[in-house]
Amino acid sequence: MAKEKGLKIEKSAKLFSEALKVMPGGVSSNARLWQTAQFCPIYTPCTIFVKKARGSHMWDVDGNKYIDYRLGFGPIILGHSHPKITKALQEAEKEGTVYALDNELELQVSKQMIDLIPSAEMVRFSVTGTEATMHAIRLARAYTGKEVIVKFEGHYHGGHDYLLFSTSPPYDTRIRPYPESRGIPKIISKLVHVETFNNFASIESYLKKNHRKVAGIILEPIMGNASGIMPKPGYLKHLRELCDRYNVVLIFDEVKTGFRVSRGGAQQLYNVKPDLSTFGKSMSNGHPISAIVGKEEMMRMYGPGPHGVTQGGTYASNPISLTATNATLSLLKDEDIYSKISRFGKRLMTGMKDVLDDNKVESVMVGHPAMFQYVITNNHREIHNYRELKSTYGLDLFSKIQYWLLTRGVMVDEDSQECWYTCLAHDMDEDLKPTLDAFKVAVEKAKNSKFKAQRFKLPPERGPPTMLTEGTRGPISSQ
């Protein structure tokens, strides 16, 4: 049998063992630590050290080139290092990086956002998606004078204590606010109610009984952190009506969907206006900026004084991130970008589904062409919520397919809840065919693989990663 080339990974491995000595887990964000034995190249857990990224491609320190479908967990909508944005940033750097006073660009970008986002009447900038959702729910509480926030299983709204519940909970237990980290005060779970997405009756009956204590409902209108599950027809409108009926603030967390699924986000796609919404990621093609936008009447509550709502931060609306946002939004406005991304995404989804069908792998394609996932399942024809997603049978096979993709230059994630993201730089000739060819090989190899996954424990604290000896890892060098 021909010998597989596999991934060269020596430099990444060496850097990772150094990183483990100075960074917990060797990473700066837990989600970057790959932990699935079937997926990780060479050792588990692991990460890859990136050298650079341009357009739709990424190169690691060992010289491997990838077609990137992780796109930084979603922000890259135009392609990495878009030349027009890079040029604008080079000029901006000369004018200073942080003023802690207003600047004209801030006004210009606010106007652009109001122009593009259907529900945006006013704008406040922040730096991360986490901050934006934190500030949005504070505003909802201040506006209504109520305290409970409703969120949905499988929806992620950042790392703060108030919403870090039930993003990836056990799915064989009663639905409840499940803390996703140690260190979150138990008392906060009393301020959170968790619902099942796309269940019309359940949210209605909960609000009927409890609306007097509910300040807001926050949701990802498309579940960007659960494989791109879409809302059922009429579901977002249903939430809008319930919020109107019960004086509850409707908050769309569009940190992933915003400027990705359409110019005006999911709210434009589904024609439903939330009261508040949060944006980040694609609004700047990957620079640190986020925003809370919404109804003037609510937004005007932000301000100093005993009756005001606090929002702010040293780096909020810094001129560098604003420059990137300004350039990104101008490009997104002027070019026929969304139809191109959609065309590419649709072709990719259809091609992948054909490969899975040809190989008799039962599956469902979930999501929007700009953010989607294939789900290996024989339980469902459609997937509408987190529990349906999780009650699938094919995670082992999924991990193996993703592994084989990685070894063939297709950058994907181990996490089946993450999406494949597409961007303007993805090219029908240069990227589509190679990806589908790789997918075909990956599915065939994963299906026929005799490789038995082994689980390796995290190396001792500050120690080097546990390297597998040659041959132990199977697919790396043979099969």
Residues labelled as active-site residues: 156, 253, 281
- The dihedrals phi and psi of 40, each to the nearest 5 degrees, come to -65, 130
User: Contact with ligand PLP (CB under 6 A): which of 80, 193, 238, 256?
Assistant: 256
Q: Which amino acid is at 4?
A: E
| Distance separating alpha carbons of residues 262 and 371, to the nearest angstrom | 11
Instruction: Work out how close the CB of 278 gets to ligand PLP at its nearest, in angstroms, rounded to a whole number.
Output: 7
Instruction: Work out how close the CB of 255 gets to ligand PLP at its nearest, in angstroms, rounded to a whole number.
Output: 3
Instruction: Work out how close the CB of 464 gets to ligand PLP at its nearest, in angstroms, rounded to a whole number.
Output: 29
Complete DSSP assignment for 201-236: HHHHHHHHHHGGGEEEEEE-SSBTTTTTBPPPTTHH
Sorted by sequence, the CB contacts under 8 Å of residue 345 that are 6+ apart come out as 368, 369, 370, 372, 422
- The dihedrals phi and psi of 278, each to the nearest 5 degrees, come to -120, 140
Which range touches ligand PLP (CB under 6 A), out of 64-72, 84-92, 154-162, 419-427? Answer: 154-162
User: Contact with ligand PLP (CB under 6 A): which of 68, 253, 275, 388?
Assistant: 253
Instruction: Work out how close the CB of 126 gets to ligand PLP at its nearest, in angstroms, rounded to a whole number.
Output: 9
Q: Mask 191-230, x = binds ligand PLP (CB under 6 A)?
A: -----------------------------x---xx-----
Instruction: Work out how close the CB of 459 gets to ligand PLP at its nearest, in angstroms, rounded to a whole number.
Output: 27
User: Contact with ligand PLP (CB under 6 A): which of 80, 124, 138, 157?
Assistant: 157
| Distance separating alpha carbons of residues 322 and 235, to the nearest angstrom | 34
Q: Mask 224-243, x = binds ligand PLP (CB under 6 A)?
A: xx------------------
User: Contact with ligand PLP (CB under 6 A): which of 26, 79, 158, 319?
Assistant: 158
Query: What pairs with residue 262 in β-bridges?
Result: 258
Query: Looking at beta carbons, which residue is closest to ligand PLP?
Result: 129
Question: Between the CA atoms of 170, 176, 181 and 186, what dihedral angle is there, to the nearest 10 degrees?
Answer: -150
Alpha helices in 41-189 (DSSP H): 83-93, 104-116, 129-144
Q: Mask 265-284, x = binds ligand PLP (CB under 6 A)?
A: ---------------x----
User: Contact with ligand PLP (CB under 6 A): which of 192, 229, 236, 255?
Assistant: 255
Residue nearer to ligand PLP on the CB measure, 36 or 225:
225
| Distance separating alpha carbons of residues 348 and 344, to the nearest angstrom | 6
Q: How many residues does the chain have?
A: 479
User: Contact with ligand PLP (CB under 6 A): which of 16, 66, 73, 403?
Assistant: 73
Sorted by sequence, the CB contacts under 8 Å of residue 111 that are 6+ apart come out as none
Nearest by Cα to 285 from 331, 221, 317: 331
Residue nearer to ligand PLP on the CB measure, 129 or 345:
129
Residue nearer to ligand PLP on the CB measure, 73 or 398:
73
Q: How many residues of this chain bind ligand PLP (CB under 6 A)?
A: 15
- The dihedrals phi and psi of 65, each to the nearest 5 degrees, come to -110, 135
Neighbours of 142 (CB within 10 A): 18
User: CB of 280 within 8 A of CB of 128?
Assistant: yes
Instruction: Work out how close the CB of 441 gets to ligand PLP at its nearest, in angstroms, rounded to a whole number.
Output: 30
Q: Which single residue is written with the structure tokens 């101008």?
A: 330
Which range touches ligand PLP (CB under 6 A), out of 57-65, 253-261, 400-408, 462-470? Answer: 253-261
Instruction: Work out how close the CB of 467 gets to ligand PLP at its nearest, in angstroms, rounded to a whole number.
Output: 31
152 near ligand PLP, rule: CB under 6 A? no
Residue nearer to ligand PLP on the CB measure, 155 or 473:
155
Burial class, 140, CB count within 10 angstroms (exposed 0-12 / middle 13-18 / buried 19+): buried
Q: Mask 103-142, x = binds ligand PLP (CB under 6 A)?
A: -------------------------xxx--x---------
Cα within 13 Å of Cα(358), Cβ side: 13
Give the interface with ligand PLP as residue ranges (CB under 6 A).
Answer: 73, 128-130, 133, 156-158, 220, 224-225, 253, 255-256, 280
